[in-house]
A and B are shown apart, each in its own frame.
Chain A
Amino acid sequence: DGGITQSPKYLFRKEGQNVTLSCEQNLNHDAMYWYRQDPGQGLRLIYYSQIVNDFQKGDIAEGYSVSREKKESFPLTVTSAQKNPTAFYLCATGPYQPQHFGDGTRLSIL
């Protein structure tokens, strides 16, 4: 079954803790993206990667980090530097533009 798998579905972060959100795809897409969605708002781009071992900052990259060691995987780490991490995080892939989305991870602060 082709698609994008995000895990976990829900995640809680303690103060000063880094947490990592997983995104795996089997669509064979080169480009992968991480978006943040706050209540009642659209999506804002955090990071994107157009090819393995390469990634670029989006509009709101501060407090986040990513890696792209494999085509299938694009994990996002929310670091302790991100002071307002509570949001819905969505991973997307596409051949040249975001087109397919995962079901998201909801991150909350403990």
Chain B
Amino acid sequence: SQQGEEDPQALSIQEGENATMNCSYKTSINNLQWYRQNSGRGLVHLILIRSNEREKHSGRLRVTLDTSKKSSSLLITASRAADTASYFCATGLFSGGYNKLIFGAGTRLAVHP
């Protein structure tokens, strides 16, 4: 099974509302990253949070990390239609001799005008 699992699988909200996506993982990690993917495009790196950090902000994005619960959340405040995309968490760990990044299946966010 995958290391990172996002919840919910899909989220539909109105513009201006906040969107919260959660990610759970199974093993110890070095860091956790969040990515956005617009339909048919590559991934865009949003935020990296290290295992010794608890919260990080970037613009309208807020990421928290709880290593005791092996979970992270991504909050997008005051959402816009342009935020419509899939969001993936990826856990970074050193395994098999290299820095691995293991992706979850993603949350599909739809923001309606």
Chain A residues at the B interface, C-beta cutoff of 8 Å: 4, 6, 31, 35, 40-45, 48, 50, 56, 88, 90, 92, 96-104, 106
Interface size class of B (residues with CB under 8 A): 20 to 34
Answer whether residue B58 sits at the interface, using C-beta atoms and an 8 A cutoff.
no
Interface pairs (12), CB distance under 8 Å:
A6-B42, A35-B103, A41-B106, A42-B2, A42-B105, A43-B88, A56-B98, A88-B40, A99-B45, A101-B42, A104-B41, A104-B42
Closest to B10 in A: A40
| Contact A90 B103, beta carbon cutoff 8 Å | no
Q: Which 4 A-B pairs have the closest CB atoms?
A: A42-B103, A101-B42, A101-B43, A43-B103
Q: Which residues 3-41 of B sit at the A interface, judged by CB distance below 8 A? A: 4, 33, 35, 40-41
Q: A48-B98, A50-B98, A97-B99 are in contact. Are A40 and B105 (CB under 8 A)?
A: yes
Chain B residues at the A interface, C-beta cutoff of 8 Å: 2, 4, 33, 35, 40-45, 88, 90, 92, 97-101, 103-106
| Contact B97 A100, beta carbon cutoff 8 Å | no
Residues on B with beta carbons closer than 8 Å to the beta carbon of A43 = 43, 88, 90, 103
Closest to A4 in B: B42
Interface residue from B43, B98, B100 paired with A90 (Cβ < 8 Å) = B43
A6-B43 Cα distance, complex, nearest whole Å: 13
Residues on A with beta carbons closer than 8 Å to the beta carbon of B35 = 101
| Contact A104 B106, beta carbon cutoff 8 Å | no
* Distance to closest chain B CB from A26 (angstroms): 16
A92-B97 Cα distance, complex, nearest whole Å: 18
